[in-house]
Homo-oligomer: A and B are copies of this chain.
Amino acid sequence: MNGARALLSTLVDSGIEVCFANPGTSEMHFVAALDAVPRMRGVLTLFEGVATGAADGYARMADKPASVLLHLGPGLGNGLANLHNARRARTPMVVVVGDHATYHKRYDAPLESDIDALAGTVSGWVRRTMRTDDVGADAADAVSASRGGMVSTLILPADVSWTAGAHAGAAAPETIAPAVDRDGLRTALATLRSGAPTVILIGGDATRTPGLAAATRIAQATGARVLCETFPARLERGAGVPAVERLAYFAEAAQEQLAGAAHLILAGAKSPVSFFAYPGKPSDLVPEGCDVHLLADGAGAAAALELLADELAPGASAVVAPAARPELPTGDLTAFTAAAVVAALLPERAIIVDESNTAGVGVAAATAGAPAHDVVTLTGGAIGYGIPAAIGAAIAAPERPVLSLQADGSAMYTIAGLWTQARENLDVTTVIFNNGAYDILRIELQRVGAVSAEPPGPKALELLDLGSPAIDFVKIAQGMGVSARRTTTAEELAAALADAFREPGPHLIDAVVGSLAG
């Protein structure tokens, strides 16, 4: 077999059965090999950022990696923003970047560029396969590395791919859970038993039910408070799941949440820092005099919390969120009435992909008692994540409805992802929170003005305005084969959402809400 077929065979033998692809000429032998390896599902996207975001959403819901096929340096470049988000989420992913033939690189053909440098910025593992004989082993290594919670990037020159004499690699072994750090455990135990005011900040694998239950049991037994990192990779919540408050995005609010803590125990989360720096405000959000203790990194957090809980609260059960939905609101559509509609109608076992940004401010509170659901968030702050991630989540969990809550400005970054939702007939309902602006930036501009005592001028404000011309998301979605409706009242949104949840296949609802920037 040639290198391309060995690569595909190794991936499927390692349990990787989906490849999100934007191929080009240098990947044509990989494409040609797809028919010989029927277990691999190729999913075409119209832009590399869609492919990488989809692979991230897939892995978060499937708990295993997908592969991505990209075309040389520019293809990787287009995929970088969502690879950045994947890196921050510790998402396992195998990225295959086709390159020029080994002997062709020295000619500096037009598409030649430094792929290795780009890959290094987002990948925990990078390798360039130089011999066809190595393709199988390298691909297996890429899979193994990715399972450590990272993006693995395999650069595959075209001649290595097309040359015969390759053989499939040994399927990479599944990851073994990391050992719990006994020192971290002992310190956390002593701290929690001391009675001193303590916050447990959870992240990584502790944001699923077992970790949440353990953290909640600890809190119940010791009086410690539990907070969740601001942007968890995947948070389980809703009725019947132990509830956790997320650390706020704006530093001032996060400081209030953390105020008074003498100890901060990190369980899968990083020590809290502000998302951006602001003049005269601290970057480090740990309160003055508070001691920070590392209990566990991302992958071992749930296990460590369970050990702690069994010590501190043996036999106890965690309090869970009660079932509770808001009434369906009526009248004007705002960020808050839209959130209430979502909460009132959320189906069982939904996956919420949340890139609603400022306009989604009301969603978390409204859905706290909705049927149990997962929330996938924008871990790295690189917008253009939601539409692609919804593709991947729907492919990973075809029996679950996906609700993609999407800010208007961010939606336009990777809007072409709607076409793949239609092509694959995915059960994704996208709600555009359409406020006609980069509203977060209007808020930030006001904050700048508050510091400088100069109100924002018209040129500055114009640069954050998406209303001229207004973006008609209904037409855009229909143009890509997705059924779509515009809604301007709570009743209209409720009717559209109910229809979308009832009908299979992708839908988009343009929910026209007001600006929060005032």
Contact = CB atoms under 8 A, between A and B. Distances in A.
A25 interface: yes
Interface string A463-489: 111101111111110111100000000
A35 B100 contact: no
A274 interface: yes
Interface in A68-117: 73-75, 77-78, 80-81, 84, 88, 100-101, 103-104, 107-111, 113-114, 117
A490 to B, nearest CB: 24
Contact of A412 (B47, B81, B231): B47
Contacts of A103: 277, 283
A441 B24 contact: yes
Interface stretch (A57-65, A322-330, A444-452): A444-452
Nearest to A425: B469
Interface residues of A, number: 102
A101 B273 CA distance: 13
Given A78-B49, A472-B479, A23 B283 contact: no
A104 B276 contact: yes
Given A80-B74, A121-B114, A463-B44, A469 B423 contact: yes
Contacts of A471: 419, 479-481
Contact of A35 (B120, B122, B457, B468): B457
Contact of A479 (B159, B380, B423, B476): B476
Given A107-B284, A409-B46, A479-B473, A32 B114 contact: no
> How many copies of this chain?
2
A28 B103 CA distance: 46
Contact of A444 (B28, B276, B383, B384): B28
Contact of A34 (B47, B109, B459): B459
Contacts of A382: 74, 77, 111
A158 interface: yes
A413 interface: yes
B110 A121 contact: no
Contacts of A275: 25, 109-111
A481 B470 contact: yes
B31 A445 contact: yes
A273 B474 CA distance: 46
A458 to B, nearest CB: 7
Interface of A: 21, 23-26, 28-29, 31-32, 34-36, 38, 42, 44, 46-47, 49, 73-75, 77-78, 80-81, 84, 88, 100-101, 103-104, 107-111, 113-114, 117-118, 120-122, 158-159, 162, 231, 270, 273-277, 279, 283-284, 379-384, 409, 412-413, 415-416, 419, 422-423, 440-441, 444-445, 447-449, 452, 454, 456-460, 462-466, 468-476, 478-481
14 contacts: A23-B464, A25-B440, A28-B447, A35-B458, A44-B463, A44-B465, A77-B80, A78-B80, A101-B277, A101-B283, A108-B273, A114-B120, A117-B120, A162-B448
